[in-house]
Amino acid sequence: MIDYTGLQYKKVLVLGLAKSGVAAAELLHELGAFVTVNDAKPFDANPAAQSLLAKGITVICGRHPEDLLDEGFELIVKNPGIPYSNPIIADAINRELPVITEMELAYLVSEAPFIGITGSNGKTTTTTLLFEMLEYGQKQPLIAGNIGTVACSVASEATKEQVLVTELSSFQLMGTRAFKPHIAILTNIYEAHLDYHSSFEEYAEAKFAVTRNQDGQDYFIYNAQQPIVVAYAAKSKAQRIPFTTSGRAAEGISADATSIYWQGEYLLDRSSIVLPGEHNLQNILCAVAAALLMGCPIDAMKDVLATFTGVKHRTQFVRNWQGVQIYNDSKATNCLATKSALTAFSQPIVLLAGGLDRGHSFEELRDVMGNVKAVVTFGETGSRFIEFAKSCGVEQTVAATNVEDAVMYAAKLVTAGDVMLLSPACASWDQYASFEIRGDLFIDAVMKLT
């Protein structure tokens, strides 16, 4: 850890605990700051707050006092999930107090360089794939941020010989000021999280923060197929590395039907890549470009690409059952994600879909339903999805009670050469607490097929 003294003797408020808040409070305390933690959960039912109090950190629990900022704080570190409309945060901004997230703290104390990966879709797959490439290439990577361990905890232990591979949400990036990754990746930008951000423009600006402080010694890998991303990339001061899957390009990293190219020159064949889908090819290009910039051997990248079957719940290959390839894409909680999954396969598909009914249309899927031979639905949107599927010409439709029941029906509809795909196009909360639980139950049911 860098001997950082910029926060010594400063009064700092940590708003909201969870893992990131606890890690931030502990790190601030270690850096010599006078730390106060405020969390809505009552103290008696708050083991994290009790632990921090035992370490000498001031704790205010069970409420958010309106006059909290009158204590003279010089910095606010907020949990990324707390919106900027929160009264305390709004008051802090009105008082011109700096408000950051723990990712900024991690950057300030880290000896290791950062790779920052953000985007509306593809972050987790890109982050995981890059981490495995760097690990296989013996580059001593550490994974943190939105997946893995809280960044503060990792950064405080990292050495300058290592590299931090971080997945970054817009919530985290909006709370950065000095953050400057050596390599930044922006996979794509689609409208999202407008219940948190005041507008799409604010959301996009938060994503662009990943390259905002970069300079000519850094690299920015970005989606050359999205005009909005290209427009933002033009503002970056880093060395720009565009990626595209629309054919061989003279600059950056690109792919056609058979090969991947680096700066216009052949790099490797696509034939040995096992992860399906154009959307995943974009993630692969991002990871390969960053690995190359970090000096990772090409053979290490090839070995990972030949074995990497996906991140759990994200077009994850589960098993081959009687000649049927079965995939778990429970993370597909909207039509855009399901559209990407459906376009990943040329084989006939038995699609398992449905979930929380937010009233949104499924029309976005109409032009990719051609390979869907049957649909098995569950959840609140089940009947609406069946109606939509029939309007697309899908003749076989079944309404199941839940995802496990849906697997049993789907098993009777598939034949050798088909794909069974869970890609719900809906959130899980009508029946399951998370998409992870939904996906795990799907996997369990699939593994029980005999």
What are the binding residues for ATP? 119-125
Closest CA to 139 of 299, 289, 291: 291
Q: Distance between CA 156 and CA 108 in Å, rounded?
A: 9
Q: Token pair for residue 68? A: 């909290």
What are the binding residues? 119-125
Listed in sequence order, the residues at least 6 apart from 353 whose beta carbon sits closer than 8 Å to its beta carbon are: 338, 375, 376, 377, 381, 385, 422, 423, 424, 425, 426
Q: What number of other Cβ atoms are within 10 A of residue 74's Cβ?
A: 14
Contact 105, 96 (CB under 8 A): no
Q: Distance between CA 36 and CA 25 in Å, rounded?
A: 8
Contact 424, 415 (CB under 8 A): no
- The sheet with strand 265-269 has its strands ordered as 141-145, 163-167, 114-118, 183-186, 219-223, 239-244, 253-255, 259-262, 265-269
Contact 345, 399 (CB under 8 A): no
Q: Token pair for residue 86? A: 């929160």
Q: Distance between CA 27 and CA 316 in Å, rounded?
A: 36
Q: Token pair for residue 446? A: 């699939």
Q: Distance between CA 105 and CA 145 in Å, rounded?
A: 12
- Measured over the CA atoms of residue 64, residue 66, residue 69 and residue 75, the dihedral's sign is positive
